[in-house]
Structure 1
Amino acid sequence: MKRSRQRQLHIIRQGLWYSLALCVVIMLFGGVGFWVLEPQVITLQDGLWLAFTTAATVGYGDMVPQTHAGRVFAALMVLLGLSVLSLVTASLAAIFVEQEVEAEVQAEERQIERELMNEIRALREQVRALDARLDQTQAAQKQETM
């Protein structure tokens, strides 16, 4: 069962890395797209900045798409950005939730282990008491036969 949780956490962490990689690819795509489509975007760095602010829906206003193609591309970037940034956020949240659930499960397992150990102690005491009674009974039978 412990191995299953570790595998789940590993898969969730992989999902985070895949989401981040997808985010980087989309930002690069957006930066190049704005660099090609918008005349005010002189450098690739400006294109990346515009792609990020558009995808994150921040929109500082320092750069805005001015051409029709740039505006359509910006709408696409908003949709892609919201989707991918939501994936990254969900992956991070899943890691935190999984860790919290794992801690709760471990605490519950420790409690069950304590209860089982107490029951085993009680059973051992009962076995000792039964052994003592059996020894007494056998000793009494030996005395009667003598």
Structure 2
Amino acid sequence: MKSNGLELLGMVPLISELYIPEVALFGLFRFIRFTRLLRLLRVIGLFKKSQRIFTEFFKKTHMDYAIAIFILILVASAFSLFFIEINTNSGINSLDDAFWYVIVTITTVGYGDISPQTEIGRIIGIVTIFTGVGFMSLLTASLATFFVNRFKQKEDMSIEEKIDNLEEQMNKKFDDMQSEIISLKEEGTVKNLGVFEICILINKFF
């Protein structure tokens, strides 16, 4: 509900004009229409945040190299299959057919409408299958590791901040207690304090 507040506000003029046409004359509702533009700013903000996350992901996992190798194998397999199977496979009549087979195979979908007829073509098919399985496994593992480490890092930072705040509070209490003791010394009453008064003094700060 909080995230859709701008959308709800932007719908007010439309609903009002449908059921109460007279309110269309008020400039207020025309102004509210401009709140729809704020949604664009929110989308841009989300895009920038996503861009930072993607940049951090590729920087830490080096998946950009894996994606480049994946695309290279896909393209090389499609071209190789096309030139090898073009004269022997009725299902591959163009480069588009070769790319279709490689994409379907490398994503492990396997429709079965096209299948290689030569031994080299079958080897290319096996390579694309293992490439697809290996890439998806690597991508899944990298994403899981990245987000787990990111969550753990935020959690560690939160714990560290709590420890720092607690340490700061303890230091402040010790300083206040020391100031109180110095004040009592100056007044000459510290020697007259009994056990009960000392306990009250300590409890005052802790």
TM-score class, shorter: 0.7 to 0.9
The CA deviation string for residues 23-60 of structure 1, in whole angstroms up to 9 with x for no partner, is 11111122112212223323323222211221222101
Quick one: structure 1 residues 59 and 10, their matched pair in 2 at CA, closer, same or farther if it must change by over 3 Å? Answer: closer
Paired residue type of 2:146: I
Supply the distance in 2 between the matched residues of 1:10 and 1:68 (Cα, whole angstroms).
Answer: 37
Aligned residues with identical type, % of pairs? 25
Quick one: structure 1 residues 116 and 91, their matched pair in 2 at CA, closer, same or farther if it must change by over 3 Å? Answer: same
What CA RMSD, in Å, does the superposition of the two structures yield over aligned residues?
2.4
Partner of 1:93: 144
Q: Is the 8 A contact 1:9 1:98 kept in 2?
A: no
Show structure 1 runs of 5+ residues with no match. 1-7, 139-146
Q: TM-score, normalised by structure 2?
A: 0.56
Q: Is the 8 A contact 1:38 1:65 kept in 2?
A: yes
Paired residue type of 1:67: T
What is the Cα deviation at residue 114 of structure 1? 2.1
What is the Cα deviation at residue 9 of structure 1? 5.9
Q: Detail structure 1 runs of 4+ shifted over 6 Å in the superposition.
A: none
Is 2:183 the partner of 1:132?
yes
Quick one: structure 1 residues 50 and 117, their matched pair in 2 at CA, closer, same or farther if it must change by over 3 Å? Answer: same
Quick one: structure 1 residues 9 and 27, their matched pair in 2 at CA, closer, same or farther if it must change by over 3 Å? Answer: closer
Q: Is the 8 A contact 1:16 1:92 kept in 2?
A: no
Q: For this pair of structures, how many residues does the alignment match?
A: 131
- Match of 2:93, SS state, is coil
Partner of 1:75: 126
Q: Is the 8 A contact 2:58 2:64 kept in 1?
A: no
Partner of 1:144: none
Partner of 1:51: 102
Paired residue type of 1:74: G
- Match of 1:37, SS state, is helix
Supply the distance in 1 between the matched residues of 2:57 and 2:73 (Cα, whole angstroms).
Answer: 26
